[in-house]
Structure 1
Amino acid sequence: MNGKLLYYWITCPDVRRESIAFIILLILLTSLSGCSEERGSPEGSLVIKDALNRKVVIERAPERIVSLAPSVTEILFAVGAGDRVVGVTKYCDYPEEAKERAKVGDITHPDIERILSLSPDLVIAHRLNDIEVIKKLDELGIPVIALEERSLEDVMESIELIGKITGCEENATRIVERMRERIKEINESVQRRGVRVMVVVWHDPVWIAGGETFIDDMIKICGGVNVFEDVRGYQIVGYEKMIAKDPEIIIVMRDDETGEIPYEAIMKDERLSSISAVKNGRVYMIDADILSRPSPRLMDGLEELFKIIQEET
């Protein structure tokens, strides 16, 4: 995952219950590049080099799309291709219309038979989906594209790519332009830089967002310094390291299942009481969906992060 493996751990209960060993194994698989595209043969087709380093040929704009990740579903609806989405995972809960689509299982183990029953002409996956499922669908002649976003730039490239694939390129371009404008406005509004920030994506054990993640990008845009920018991707950190880094602000992610548990885990742990953020009551919660899903809604998370960091300066 480099920047995003824990995205699914954060937002999906079943994935959070997967073993840490499995997550660590995935972290080792971070060297592959994101997607690129080029026009190829036959004339008018689109050749995609995806996050699994596979070349996928899209011969025409898809009419029946299955999404295997909540972020992909959000992007598809955002660019205007929601009416062509016929299947999603059980965690695809935004926008509301997505809840009405047929469910094809969870993220790590989607149901191949259920996917096939929907007769898709394109499946858009994430690099964290079961590789065997992707291989099987490919063998059956169904185009599958795997995405991966390590940075905010990657997120915007995924939006543009999905727009291009679906024939909604103008809408995608407008979304990305708005995102760039919001990023520029927020960054230019920063009054003070250098505030030490730590983002906790899971609390037991403590997983943090390190460098080379879009969360790290967001911290920097808002004038903060990620105290774990020297750590690549998402990693478990011990209390000693947290104390040594002494963040001035700690952000924890909140969802419907955990509620305030992550917040209380940080605030009430005596071992962390000497940390500036804890001592001064500067531990905050942000909705996991707008801080961890690589979709246009990251801009909502960016604005919340900006308010927290700049109010504290």
Structure 2
Amino acid sequence: MPHRQYFTPVLCLGLLLSLSLLKMPSAYGQQSETAAPPTQALSQALSQKQRQQLRIIALAPHIVESLFAIGAGEQIIATTAHSDFPKEASVIPQIGNYARLQIEKIVQLQPDVIIAWKNGNPNEDLSRLAQYHLQVEYSQPITLADVADDILLLGRITGREEQAQQVASRYLEQLHDLQMHYANATPVKVFYELWSRPLRTVANQAWPQQQLELCGASNPFGKASDDYPQVGLEQVLVSLPQVVIQPTMNNSNQADALDWQQWPHIPAAKNNFILHPNADKVHRMTIRMLDEVSVMCEQIEQARQFYQATSRPGSTNESDKT
């Protein structure tokens, strides 16, 4: 599924607990109805200093990036493929990718805690980790605001609550500012090219769809039944998008991306509103994402102002507003 591949073209554990943790009643094994949640139990069992020394396996690039953001990057002993930001993350040993985790290597590393991606790691592998009685915490950002909750979770796990609170607060403030800025913006018709062969876009609660809505964009396929629907090229051309978004790796051109200039009748191609945000940033659930989305919103705003100007009575380019 696209969400497990970090919406490619960007492609998108631990071991047995220490003896002291294993002796704890039910907190790390089968929980009773009154047992504390794993993160809470971890906080209660260990001091702040002990949590700051936990050896962590992080099972997704966005988890790695967020751990570094709160100053806990040095605690990571292993991660998965494409965990490349910040640059220090590139040298961390890798024990799998979005499709498969190397369970044996994870067990051999004997991590104190594993932080997994609830919606992105293979369910079968996560179940196997549970069989080894490994301490697993879950990252599960669904909405843009959930990034802040994820940061706070990582802060509790690593004993860096204060740093996490500061990072999360700044993120939510930036998110709120963007929401307010574009809350009443005139919709601009935007097609999001997630994947070219087959042609796939975003809809519903998909991560990029939420970003489009934040920018005041109107997605002609936004109500599709699937979050990442496959669409026909003819459907896109008929919808006459005013802006086309093609996320790329490090803002470089992708060999398999569609050349929209082949269809100069669509407003996006005619008026040169083909945008190329950095996929590494917009497709990862991290604080860095909002910086790139902010740029994307500004570019969509430029298109909005252009089409509003050309739609005024007497404009020689009134047809461009379609």
Q: TM-score, normalised by structure 2?
A: 0.76
CA distance in 2, matches of 1:171, 1:120: 23
Correspondence list, 1:10-21, <5 A = 10-12=9-11
CA distance in 2, matches of 1:105, 1:284: 32
Match of 2:149 among 153, 157, 167: 157
CA distance in 2, matches of 1:181, 1:74: 20
Provide, for residues 38-67 of structure 1, a one-character-per-residue CA deviation record: whole Å limited to 9, x for no partner: xx977xx6436xxxxxxx964543701101
- The structure-2 alpha-carbon separation of the partners of 1:95 and 1:278, relative to structure 1 and needing over 3 Å to count, comes to same
Correspondence list, 1:1-313, <5 A = 4-7=3-6, 9-12=8-11, 46-47=37-38, 58=42, 59-60=45-46, 61=51, 63-126=54-117, 127-190=119-182, 192-231=185-224, 232-255=226-249, 259-261=253-255, 263=257, 265-268=258-261, 270=262, 272-313=263-304
Measure how far apart 1:101 and its partner are.
1.4
Deviating 4+ runs (over 6 angstroms): none
- The structure-2 alpha-carbon separation of the partners of 1:71 and 1:172, relative to structure 1 and needing over 3 Å to count, comes to same
**Which is strand-richer, 1 or 2?**
1
Q: Tell me, yes or no, if the aligned pair for 2:251 and 2:277 is still in contact at 8 Å.
A: no
- The structure-2 alpha-carbon separation of the partners of 1:5 and 1:197, relative to structure 1 and needing over 3 Å to count, comes to farther
Alpha-carbon RMSD across the aligned residues, in angstroms, is 2.8
CA distance in 2, matches of 1:195, 1:295: 26
- The structure-2 alpha-carbon separation of the partners of 1:110 and 1:140, relative to structure 1 and needing over 3 Å to count, comes to same
Aligned residues: 276
SS in 1 for 2:194: strand
SS in 2 for 1:198: strand
- The structure-2 alpha-carbon separation of the partners of 1:182 and 1:255, relative to structure 1 and needing over 3 Å to count, comes to same
Measure how far apart 1:72 and its partner are.
0.9
Measure how far apart 1:8 and its partner are.
5.1
Provide, for residues 5-24 of structure 1, a one-character-per-residue CA deviation record: whole Å limited to 9, x for no partner: 45253321xx7xxxxxxxxx
Q: Tell me, yes or no, if the aligned pair for 2:4 and 2:98 is still in contact at 8 Å.
A: no
Q: Tell me, yes or no, if the aligned pair for 1:211 and 1:226 is still in contact at 8 Å.
A: no
Could you tell me which residue of structure 1 aligns to residue 317 of structure 2? none
CA distance in 2, matches of 1:246, 1:157: 38
Unaligned runs of 5+ in 1: 16-39, 49-55
The amino acid across from 1:68 in the alignment is L
Measure how far apart 1:291 and its partner are.
0.8
CA distance in 1, matches of 2:238, 2:41: 50
CA distance in 1, matches of 2:138, 2:37: 15
The amino acid across from 2:65 in the alignment is E
- The structure-2 alpha-carbon separation of the partners of 1:289 and 1:238, relative to structure 1 and needing over 3 Å to count, comes to same
CA distance in 2, matches of 1:57, 1:242: 51
Measure how far apart 1:120 and its partner are.
0.6
SS in 2 for 1:123: strand
Q: Tell me, yes or no, if the aligned pair for 1:75 and 1:159 is still in contact at 8 Å.
A: yes
SS in 2 for 1:216: helix
Unaligned runs of 5+ in 2: 13-32, 305-322
Q: TM-score, normalised by structure 1?
A: 0.78
Query: Which shows bigger deviation, 126-135 or 181-190?
Result: 181-190
CA distance in 1, matches of 2:253, 2:237: 25
CA distance in 2, matches of 1:172, 1:229: 33
CA distance in 2, matches of 1:156, 1:236: 31
